[in-house]
Structure 1
Amino acid sequence: MAPGFEKVRDVFARHIETDTLGAACTIYHRGECVVDLYGGWKDKTRTRPWEHDTIVLVYSVSKGLSGAACAVAASKGLFSYDENVGDVWPEFDVYGKGKLTVGQVLSEQSGVAALDLKLNNARMADSEFCALAVEQQKPNWKPGQYSGNHPYSLSWLACELISRRDPRERHLERFFAEEVAAPVGADAFLGLPKDFDRDRIARIDGFGMFDLVFRHTNMSWALVTSMFWPWSLSFRALNNPLFLKGPAELDEEQWWRIEQGAAGGMASAPALAKIYNVFATGGETYGITQEVADQLARGADLPPGGLWDPVLHTDLHYSYGFEKPSGGWEFARTPSAFGTFAIGGSMAFADPDDEVAYAWITNQLGTWLRDDPREKDVREAFYQCLVENARCQ
């Protein structure tokens, strides 16, 4: 803990003591790790303490890891965000999807959020099979009209874009491991290695469908209602595979091992912060070009539908595999920031203008869509310290 950030420690400790099973938070500022906290327990037995190298399923925070891999790929010249996706992936050019740019596809505008194909572990473990499914999928909306949450399919989109242009034909899992995680020594995985020490894994304490009603927080009632209507877009996108006991069902061995760069990533807080720190401090370690850095900081152009997400029934600015500060969700001090939040509370982002890299993860899922108060309190305490420290200089 760097001097001047004690308030972050105090807020973090309060949540560990009162309302959080286990969590960790790591924050870099100007390339220096100024906050590195962890506490609580790895599972509900409360016999295995959370440790510095503990990893946990981070759900949609995984999208940012896929976004990082695509930023590296773009910087290597494998594709550009402005390139027509049909030129990279000709088979995707059906139902008007191929007219989009790579950037639009990575910004979740293609409309393949909900697949007609019924998904299960065996099918999702076959990336080529899933790529074929998104190729053939009729879009849920006119491609390019909206940006909407692609809870699983963003992984297969990113994987196909990378593997089709990578000279070594690496899939997303391997490309991320070699080009993103390895250069900074990050314990982050889009498919857990078979020999990984299982004792380092924190287990998820989740919630069920009815908790969305009886523990209602900031999810819109339109989204909550849709989750009980099997024909709605939200249900078809978010509940395929169908998990009757809620998102904690993803926290099992059979799911840990599959390549799933939208919802199945596993990481420690230090690992996420290390990765985002590269983007917050110029991107040199990953060879990020100035053009790509500028595009990430500026953000993808909004579609005609604006910020509205027809899957989550809220406003979000999806951008190249990340989300940007927007509307009522200004998660950072500057508009240059980009990162991802996850159902349940985890959050990670880079803020290049402030040179901040932030990661907060937990194994106790809240029912907040975003701005989980545990995470938000820690984040706001950090920025308060940042302002106060600047005044003292």
Structure 2
Amino acid sequence: MQVSRSPFLHTDVRGEKLPPTIGGFVADGFEPVAHAFEASIISGSALGAACTIMHRGEAVVDLHGGWNSAKRNKAWASDTIALVYSLTKGLTGMAAAVAASRGLFSYDERVADIWPEFAAHGKGDVTVGEALSEQAGLAAIDYKLAVDRLGDEEAICAAIARQKPNWAPGDYSGNHAYTLGWIASEIIHRRDPQGRRLPEFFNEEIGAPLGADVFVGLPEGFDQRRIARIEGFGMQDLFIHHTTMPWPLTFKMCVPGTLAFRTLNNPLVLEGPGALDNEEFWRVGQGAAGGMASARGLARLYDAFAQGGASLGVTSEVMATLKQGHPYPRKGLKDQILTADMYYSYGFEKPFSQWEFARTRSAFGSFAVGGSLAFCDPEDGVSYAWITNQLGTGKWDDPREKLVRDAFYSCLENQK
């Protein structure tokens, strides 16, 4: 598909010395996407944001706008990256797909056959696919985490192995907010001939070959002037500025002893996710919440999967598995942490009846606290990434992001 790229640059309507409202380009016929993107910047509902969308291997939307920090003294640029929280899970899913394609393990293999210590407390039959689909019951762990010790994967993985599961594995799924990354990292480490853990494996086998500004563990010497700083929220904001966050979750994550509190406040204790936006965490390479990426880089990675994965050596069998999705938990889709239905699958989330984020069920990707979303739809040939540095207080379908996605799909329909 050949596209005509039209520069899209609007300056502030008041004529003040402010950065451009938005910059970048859209393909002919996709101008409404730029207007939708611009709306959240003008309204102030997004401090800064970026969106890149590819279709059949061509970029049709590549936009950025607003400020790169709450200081409002520097514009979000075309090469700006940011902490992307749970969008990192999709990166971990990609790494697992590449590893599985190389025969390091299969999704149907038992984790304990790779990592014998994992079998403790009745976890011996948990498969790699179940663990990556957040069904292992290891959302909350008793091991006390601290931001300055998140890089000690050996100690953390030992704690995960001896952890009694939060529910019978396979019965339910639940947001493994941090642990998903360490579980995947240990599985890869034990089977990779070079003994690499997730950060090295991802950066060397996926990020670097595709030349994408996406990192699990920020490299030394990276120009930190390119990093957008996060404007987070406090726990009080979930009540004062409540939007679509389920009320049961809002309460439970503030009540010590609940599964939600134990999952979401270890290592943070009622500080809010913005507290993770620091150099120490950027460099750790935490595989469920610590990715650093640009929207352009995320879209490029997902485009590799939208086009079948061959550029990364992903096999047709693995691609078919990702498109099909992991079987639902035995007792339904209700997330035991988020208190709402969610379909986790092999490190990604998939569309389901309550959240059809793409046009076909072949899609897979991840959303993040604060509203960011990235995914691909192989059947539709779409890869999509929208990220922001101003965290919203909803679950999924952040209105700032959804406005852009809806505009894109409306334009795509009109291309036929």
| TM-score bin (small chain) | over 0.9
State the partner residue of 2:160.
Answer: 134
Of 40, 43, 66, 1:15 maps to: 40
Of 316, 333, 350, 1:307 maps to: 333
State the partner residue of 1:260.
Answer: 286
State the partner residue of 2:54.
Answer: 28
Which digits, 9 at most, give the CA deviation of each residue in 1:177-229, with x for residues without a partner?
01110111011111111211010000000110011111111111110110121
State the partner residue of 1:321.
Answer: 347
Local SS of the residue matching 1:260: coil
Is 1:94 equivalent to 2:128 in the alignment?
no
Preserved CA contact (<8 Å) 1:123 1:129:
no
Which digits, 9 at most, give the CA deviation of each residue in 1:320-374, with x for residues without a partner?
0000001211000000000000010111001001000000000000001111000
**Whole-angstrom CA distance in 1 between matches of 2:314 and 2:280:** 34
Local SS of the residue matching 2:234: coil
Preserved CA contact (<8 Å) 1:243 1:249:
no
Deviation (angstroms), 1:243: 3.7
Structure 1 residues without counterparts, runs of 5 or longer: none
**Whole-angstrom CA distance in 2 between matches of 1:117 and 1:225:** 23
Amino acid at match of 2:77: E
State the partner residue of 1:364.
Answer: 390
**Whole-angstrom CA distance in 1 between matches of 2:383 and 2:254:** 37
State the partner residue of 1:84.
Answer: 110
Amino acid at match of 1:215: H
Alignment of 1:1-393 (within 5 A): 1-18=26-43, 19-390=45-416
Amino acid at match of 1:330: E
**Whole-angstrom CA distance in 2 between matches of 1:281 and 1:243:** 41
Greater relative contact order (Cα < 8 A, sep 6+):
1
Local SS of the residue matching 1:387: helix
Preserved CA contact (<8 Å) 2:215 2:293:
yes
Amino acid at match of 1:113: A
Deviation (angstroms), 1:88: 1.2
Amino acid at match of 1:94: A
**Whole-angstrom CA distance in 2 between matches of 1:216 and 1:231:** 23
Amino acid at match of 1:384: S
RMSD: 0.8
Amino acid at match of 1:131: C
**Whole-angstrom CA distance in 1 between matches of 2:149 and 2:179:** 12
Local SS of the residue matching 1:99: coil
Q: Percent identity at matched positions?
A: 59
Local SS of the residue matching 1:39: strand
Deviation (angstroms), 1:14: 1.0
Deviation (angstroms), 1:89: 1.1
Preserved CA contact (<8 Å) 2:254 2:270:
no
**Whole-angstrom CA distance in 2 between matches of 1:316 and 1:36:** 29
**Whole-angstrom CA distance in 2 between matches of 1:155 and 1:56:** 18
**Whole-angstrom CA distance in 2 between matches of 1:226 and 1:352:** 37
Preserved CA contact (<8 Å) 1:63 1:321:
yes
Amino acid at match of 2:216: L
Local SS of the residue matching 1:183: coil
Local SS of the residue matching 1:167: coil
Which digits, 9 at most, give the CA deviation of each residue in 1:261-304, with x for residues without a partner?
10111100011000000000111111111110000000000111
Local SS of the residue matching 2:60: strand
Amino acid at match of 1:5: F
Amino acid at match of 2:159: A
**Whole-angstrom CA distance in 2 between matches of 1:308 and 1:121:** 29
Which digits, 9 at most, give the CA deviation of each residue in 1:113-136, with x for residues without a partner?
001111102321111111111001
Deviation (angstroms), 1:98: 2.1
Moved over 4 A (4+): none
**Whole-angstrom CA distance in 1 between matches of 2:131 and 2:172:** 11
Preserved CA contact (<8 Å) 2:143 2:156:
no
Local SS of the residue matching 1:94: helix
Amino acid at match of 1:116: D
Preserved CA contact (<8 Å) 2:369 2:391:
yes
Aligned length: 390
Preserved CA contact (<8 Å) 1:127 1:259:
no
**Whole-angstrom CA distance in 2 between matches of 1:243 and 1:227:** 10
**Whole-angstrom CA distance in 2 between matches of 1:47 and 1:74:** 45
